[in-house]
Amino acid sequence: MTKAATLLDPSAGTDGCLSALLVRAHPQALDAVATRLQELPWLRVHFRDGQGRIIVTIEGETVGDEIARVTALQQTPGVLSVDLINHYFDRGEA
């Protein structure tokens, strides 16, 4: 999925998963971590503060896609933890 056709845009008609996450980073690495995250096509940064907290949403076609993406986030240099806030799954059923 790209940022142009996402679950965040209901008119796109895209099925899949959408999750909100709290990413905690070392405060001194916050800018570098946020920059890395913003480069990911399946992730949007919505909020960050000076204490190292970053609120993001991620998307995937399956739960497995999202698990792989959370694992990738956990392995990002400067990231301390990744916590699930909310998860939404759409099968595209009308």
Q: What number is the average pLDDT over the span 34-45?
A: 95
Condensed to tens digits (0 to 9), the pLDDT of residues 19-28 reads 999 999 999 9
| Token couple for 75 | 């392995």
pLDDT level of residue 71 (50, 70, 90 thresholds): very high
3-state helix, strand, coil in the chain (%, to 5): 30, 40, 35
Q: Where are the alpha helices (DSSP H) in the chain?
A: 30-38, 63-74
Higher pLDDT, 3 or 61: 61
Fold observed for domain 10-89: Alpha-Beta Plaits (3.30.70)
Q: What number is the average pLDDT over the span 45-64?
A: 94
- In this prediction, residue 89 carries a pLDDT of 82
Bridge partners of 15, per DSSP, are none
Q: Within 13 Å, how many C-alpha atoms sit on residue 23's CB side? A: 35
The domain segmentation of the chain, as residue ranges, is 10-89
Condensed to tens digits (0 to 9), the pLDDT of residues 77-86 reads 999 999 999 9
pTM over 0.95: no
